[in-house]
Amino acid sequence: MDKVVVITGASAGIGAELAKQLAAKGAKVVLSARRKAELDEVAAKIGQQALAVVADATKRNDVEHLCRSALDGFGRIDVWVNNAGRGISRSIAELTDEDMDSMWRDNMKSVLYGIQAVLPHFKSRNHGQIVNVSSGLSRAPLAPARAAYGAVKSAVNMLSASLRVELRPTHPGIQVTVVLPGVVATDFGRNALGSGVENRSIPGAQPVEAAVKAIVEVIENPKPEAYTSPFIAETIARYQRDPEALEADIASMQR
């Protein structure tokens, strides 16, 4: 794979595994996260194909620095993956202003900053792919305690779709992809605001390797949208057909 790929949130979980799988296919990867030690460890395992850049995806200046570093290091960017984000486990009745500000900053602003940083480079070439990692929770209320997270991810979906429409007349060579994972066996639950259920303990949690394989596939063969597992795709399809029935099933499990 002759591509240069920037990945935010790459010190662990989906981001780290994505960097490994892409590098194994020959891609050059630019890894970004706030935690230097963990980021350097991932990059060291990959080798010369990897460039580690410490940056906070929720800070515009950091994201612009990441873009410049990728261009300085490899001369171009072919794919930008907005993967950084954070969950929350909190009843809707208990959500605070600070909770909502955090969800918007961590899961929407981080995506917007990535888009705006790389878009001039992509437009100059009429080439590139933006991959925004969303969530199955943006399409169905599968985990009411993570409602605020799912709601902001819904906004990411619409931002992505609108960007596709905006670019189509003038820059048809730029692809915008939304990836929707279900429950993936990472530290996502442990790192969520309010803590909550550990993802790895949830029955049916998808191995991170399998979820990432689906992301690699849409980088190799771009399309507007992809689910990481048949289960989450089928569950969302069921919700679209009969929302009341699925909501009743979910509610019964909350008792």
- Edge-to-edge strands, sheet with 79-82: 50-54, 28-33, 4-8, 79-82, 128-133, 174-180, 225-227
* Residue 249: both structure tokens together: 């099933």
Distance (Å, rounded) from C-alpha 54 to C-alpha 229?
31
Residues 6+ away with beta carbon under 8 Å from 180? 134, 135, 136, 138, 139, 225, 226, 227, 228, 232, 236
8 A C-beta contact, residue 66 and residue 55: yes
Distance (Å, rounded) from C-alpha 17 to C-alpha 33?
14
Distance (Å, rounded) from C-alpha 27 to C-alpha 6?
10
* Residue 79: both structure tokens together: 């794919």
* Number of other CB atoms surrounding residue 108 within 10 Å: 18
Of 113, 149, 227, 239, which is the active-site residue?
A: 149
Which of 11, 2, 20 shows the shortest CA–CA distance to 191?
11
Residues 6+ away with beta carbon under 8 Å from 97? none
227 is catalytic: no
Show which residues are catalytic. 149
